[in-house]
Structure 1
Amino acid sequence: MKLVVTIDVEEEGLFSNSYAARDVPVENVQALPCLNRVFQRWNIHPTLLVTHAVASNKNLQGLLVNLCDTWHGEIGAHLHHWNTPPFEELPYPQPVPSELMPEHLLTAKLQTLLESIREMGIVATSFRMGRFNLGPKMFSVLRKAGMLVDSSIAPMRRYYGGPDHLSVPIDPYFPDPSDPRRPGNSEILEAPLTILPVTSTLGSVLDSIKTNARIERRISWMAANLLSLPAQPLWTGLNRLKLAVRLHKMRGGRVLTVFFHSSELIPGGCPQHRTTEDVDRFLDKLDRFFAWLHQTYSLESITLSELGRLFASPRARDIVEH
């Protein structure tokens, strides 16, 4: 089993639903070195998915490159379309769903982000959309930009204005370009977050329920909070993390895709981490989780793009598609 650890390296304030377009604080990025002890101990090769606010900050570029060198990791792209130039006034509240934005604007924003990453001497080939808001339009933009792998699908979740992820594959797959939630023949690999429905067919059952908005919101809440097991360290305790991994392995899972945010590494950066002690407990949970993984399974930590190249081989692709 492969382990893919991804970090959304981004500005502060998004947990309070602040979508400021300019002058956003990025002090949390300086806390990334606190992961060094855990990552080096368990040979974790993370993917740092950086936003434009981070990548364009000259004071952070050297830190990010040095950390990637130290961890043998990768820098990829994380598009926060609400605060990445260029800007156009649109008649919708922020964050504007990508399907409601002109494709030329999404393309320009992605190019701005990729150019800011190129200033660090890096050509990004991995991607995650802000707020997991990936639909056919944004997927088309990624294809034209030559992305190798995307990780914007969050199973058993439904987000404002975005595609419904209640019923999606759990392991990596090649999407249908017209509906990235479904397997197809795209050249981009999709690496969903590892979130398990408690029964393998539950997502499809929930997805088939079409009723009024109030009941659908309740179904979405139940799917996220009661009917799924996330292998995501911020979202649950160590025992449920272990249970999610065991269930994924039992169902034939080959890739464990984990994520968290850089802002979760500072006190006050997210609702769960209000104090230094909260952050320390999170780091300890990461350490114990990775220790358990290595003691229980034969697994290798790789970056998103390494995963993309691995699955792109003709034999591996044939296995994935069939």
Structure 2
Amino acid sequence: MASPSIGSIHRPAPPAAADRVLWSDDFGTRFTIMVDTEEEFDWSAPLSRESRNVSAIGALPEGHRRFADCGVPLTYLVDHPVATDPLSIDILRDVLTDGRSAIGTQLHPWVNPPFEEALTPANSFAGNLPETLEAAKLGVLTNAIATAFGASPLVYRAGRYGIGPATVALLASRGYRIDSSMRACYDYSAEGGPDFRAVGNHAFHVGGMMELPLTTVFTGLARHGGAGLYEALGRIPKGRGLFARTGLLSRVALTPEDMPLADALEAIAVALGQGVRVLNFSFHSPSLAPGHTPYVRDAADLAVFNRWWDKVLADLDRRGVRPVSLAELIAAGTRP
């Protein structure tokens, strides 16, 4: 399959004001944490269909306990290698006994049958595949999760955030209620992926579902320059790095992976100042065990990762921002 042409890049339009989710006053301001629960692979190597090892799931119970002790539910977005591995299923079933955490779906098309596409960078974005093939992969994964956990998944994230023009309708037809594939302020078009620069951080209704973008904001003294300034700096050698180091402009996503603690705390303040009612955090499950992601290479990195969460959760509590479970999120965000 050929890479998508420039004209075929998926660029979701900004939602109309009428499509914004209207959260009730008693809902307050909340946060959710979605975990990309997946196999381990070499992040610097080409993607491989054979990369299906899920040994890092063994670290999940201890990682889950740290959040459960703070009263924070997690939503595990599992992909095909995890959803078809008996030990991983048992581990996830056990952590779900906290009564508030949940299972969702994450589609990595390169390790998710049927395998009819060429293994190319562009085809790693599931939304670039023919609609029939994207549907078939989604069907296989949805059925595997329902079989493993006894309930159909209700929330979805495309691996590499790779949704396409057909994705929302395919999800809605299978009973999904939330998509969380859009990464506000990010543009993957240079790799053939979608362009989310027009998408903000507020949840909105689309195609009978709720879209909950991953929260990303611009921080720094020049943050009001936003995406336009950030894009311009990308055309200047080391421009973005210079502005970040001098505190002028940084793009900060709410994740401990490659986002320093001080930047994350500032991003929380900025997002709340913009009126964002649901802060959407994320991380990859292999980061719970040293040596599987570039973000947690050793025990020292894991300590930094855990400290990041300790400080962020304490800051959210101080601000009165409460955790929300997937079930609560769906109930509160359903359009009347």
Q: What percentage of residue pairs aligned between the two structures are identical?
A: 28
1:203 is aligned to 227
1:241 is aligned to 264
**Aligned equivalents of 1:204, 1:59: Cα separation in 2:** 47
CA RMSD of aligned residues (A): 2.7
1:171 is aligned to 202
2:292 is aligned to 269
Of 170, 188, 204, the match for 1:141: 170
Instruction: Say whether 1:311 aligns with 2:322.
Output: no
Secondary structure of 1:16 counterpart: coil
**Aligned equivalents of 2:204, 2:243: Cα separation in 1:** 22
Structure 2 unmatched runs, 5+: 1-28
1:133–1:220: structure 2 CA closer, same or farther, 3 Å change rule?
Answer: farther
User: Following TM superposition, by how much is the alpha carbon of 1:239 offset from its aligned partner in structure 2, in angstroms?
Assistant: 1.5
Which range moves more in the overlay, 21-30 or 147-156? 21-30
Q: Deviations over 1:239-270 (max 9, x none)?
A: 11111111111111101100000111111111
Secondary structure of 1:42 counterpart: coil
2:49 is aligned to 21
Q: Deviations over 1:82-112 (max 9, x none)?
A: 1100110338446443343111111110111
1:162 is aligned to 193
1:49–1:206: structure 2 CA closer, same or farther, 3 Å change rule?
Answer: same
**Aligned equivalents of 2:213, 2:276: Cα separation in 1:** 12
- Counterpart of 2:275 in structure 1: which amino acid? G
1:223–1:261: structure 2 CA closer, same or farther, 3 Å change rule?
Answer: farther
1:91–1:31: structure 2 CA closer, same or farther, 3 Å change rule?
Answer: closer
User: Following TM superposition, by how much is the alpha carbon of 1:32 offset from its aligned partner in structure 2, in angstroms?
Assistant: 0.7
**Aligned equivalents of 2:262, 2:172: Cα separation in 1:** 38
Check conservation: 2:108, 2:124, Cα contact below 8 A.
Answer: no
- Counterpart of 1:134 in structure 2: which amino acid? I
Check conservation: 1:148, 1:305, Cα contact below 8 A.
Answer: no
1:291–1:274: structure 2 CA closer, same or farther, 3 Å change rule?
Answer: same
1:260–1:71: structure 2 CA closer, same or farther, 3 Å change rule?
Answer: farther
1:278–1:97: structure 2 CA closer, same or farther, 3 Å change rule?
Answer: closer
User: Following TM superposition, by how much is the alpha carbon of 1:53 offset from its aligned partner in structure 2, in angstroms?
Assistant: 0.5
- Counterpart of 1:300 in structure 2: which amino acid? R
> Aligned ranges for residues 63-78 of structure 1 at < 5 Å?
63-70=91-98, 72-78=100-106
How many aligned positions are there? Answer: 298
Secondary structure of 1:128 counterpart: strand
- Counterpart of 1:127 in structure 2: which amino acid? Y
- TM score, norm. by length of structure 1: 0.84
Of 10, 16, 32, the match for 2:60: 32
> Aligned ranges for residues 1-322 of structure 1 at < 5 Å?
1-13=29-41, 15-22=43-50, 24-70=52-98, 72-90=100-118, 92-93=120-121, 95-119=123-147, 120-159=149-188, 160-175=191-206, 186-198=207-219, 199=223, 202-203=226-227, 215=235, 226-294=249-317, 296-314=318-336
Secondary structure of 1:258 counterpart: strand
User: Following TM superposition, by how much is the alpha carbon of 1:27 offset from its aligned partner in structure 2, in angstroms?
Assistant: 0.5
Check conservation: 1:126, 1:305, Cα contact below 8 A.
Answer: no
- Counterpart of 1:196 in structure 2: which amino acid? V
**Aligned equivalents of 2:205, 2:242: Cα separation in 1:** 28
Check conservation: 2:135, 2:170, Cα contact below 8 A.
Answer: yes
Check conservation: 2:184, 2:200, Cα contact below 8 A.
Answer: yes
- TM score, norm. by length of structure 2: 0.80
**Aligned equivalents of 1:312, 1:54: Cα separation in 2:** 29
**Aligned equivalents of 2:58, 2:210: Cα separation in 1:** 31
User: Following TM superposition, by how much is the alpha carbon of 1:68 offset from its aligned partner in structure 2, in angstroms?
Assistant: 1.6
Check conservation: 1:158, 1:220, Cα contact below 8 A.
Answer: no
Q: Deviations over 1:92-149 (max 9, x none)?
A: 4464433431111111101111111112212100000000011212222212222100
